[in-house]
Amino acid sequence: MWFQNFWAVFAAMSFTKTVVEAINDRLRNDFFYIYKNAAVETRDFQQKPVTENEVSFYLYTGENPKEYSVIGQDNLDQFWNTTNQIVLLIHGWTNSRQSDWMEDLKNAFLVRDKDSFVIMVDWQEPANQLYYVSSINTYDVSKIITKLLVNLYRNYQVDRERFLLVGHSLGGQICGFVGKLFKKETSETLPRLIALDPAGPLFSTRPEDKRLNKNDARVVEVIHTDGGTFGFRNSCGTIDFFANGGSSQPGCKKIDLADLAGSLSEPVTCDHRRAWAYFIEAVLNPSDLVAQKCDTWAKFKLNSCSEETVPLGDLTTTLQGNFFLQTNKERPYAKKVSGGFSLSRLLL
């Protein structure tokens, strides 16, 4: 009798798991279909241009990391001839500067280098449109950001080497457009862009000059976590990091059958959001999340790779190619090193 009961329970558990996975996959597929195909021909859609008053710049410094000052084209004196790094953080679709990850990443950069200037770029209104509209808006937003950088470069004697752009999703694509526009305006190349799971829908079929690509800066770092769904699937930088293969992240499937309404958003966007979660940990703990150069994820799992490695937190690397890494399913994401421990346990 106990044997029969055991198999009945086991079968029920297996069925529940199968149902959960089926629901999750269907939700992801259906949501992605809407997200990706909202406009069949985006070029036929006429959208009013984004204006400068729809893009705001919030400056934070190590001296007062909790308070910001709003800056614009005419109040940039504090940047005059600065040798400090200027980090611009750019959010994606439906986000704003008030998104928790923006605050966390700003704090991480200021912990790492208290002398940095960290600028949150807020394009909330243009980002909170239907996806295909927001994707069109990225180019206008990029022009406004580029205008600020060119102003600093030409009129405030800021060396272009001081600039670092970091963007998530549509913000990652904006980084690429800024790189192109800055080069067009100044004939100079930005030193480094970091794209956190740059948006894939409506960009994946574009030619390189119409999306993020390896020529947008001397170093274009890309972290892939949701490739083929919300993120860009293929290599598009000078160095591409594929976390857990680049498309599906451990710990992200969390459908609660007893609370479907309350648990739908987590699995739909979890993989996509892991890009900034990993990067925040990497900024705080530069040596923890180590990636290995490899041809494919399959070879990485078979330990059949190059011996070349680089930490995700190395913001000076000039290595090129595809690099793979594995993470834990929850914080700290860095895998323990044999015989030691991850510093991220202390800092996150």
DSSP secondary structure letter of residue 336:
P
Task: Identify the CA nearest to 69 among candidates 78, 79, 77, 60.
Answer: 60
Task: Identify the CA nearest to 348 among candidates 246, 258, 278, 267.
Answer: 278
Which three-class secondary structure state does DSSP give residue 119?
strand
Which of 135, 272, 288, 342 does the annotation list as catalytic? 272
State yes or no: is 224 an active-site residue: no
Which of 134, 169, 342, 344 does the annotation list as catalytic? 169
The C-alpha atoms of residue 229 and residue 241 are separated, in whole angstroms, by 17
Retrieve residue 150's tokens.
């060119």
The C-alpha atoms of residue 276 and residue 100 are separated, in whole angstroms, by 11
Q: 347 phi and psi, to 5 degrees? A: -105, -20
State yes or no: is 168 an active-site residue: no
The C-alpha atoms of residue 128 and residue 317 are separated, in whole angstroms, by 34
Cis check: omega of the bond before 207, within 30 degrees of 0 = no
Q: 67 phi and psi, to 5 degrees? A: -115, 145
Report which residue type is found at 219. Answer: V
The C-alpha atoms of residue 334 and residue 325 are separated, in whole angstroms, by 9
Which of 197, 240, 271, 314 does the annotation list as catalytic? 197
- Contact 272/226 with Cβ under 8 angstroms? yes
What DSSP string runs through 181-213?
Answer: HHHHHHS---SEEEEES-B-TTTTTS-GGGS--
State yes or no: is 272 an active-site residue: yes
**Residue 102 CB neighbour total at 10 angstroms:** 23
Task: Identify the CA nearest to 236 among candidates 249, 245, 227.
Answer: 227
Which three-class secondary structure state does DSSP give residue 4?
helix
Task: Report the Cα–Cα distance between both ends of the chain, in Å, rounded.
Answer: 50
Specify the pairing of strand 239-243 against strand 309-311: unpaired
Catalytic residues: 169, 197, 272
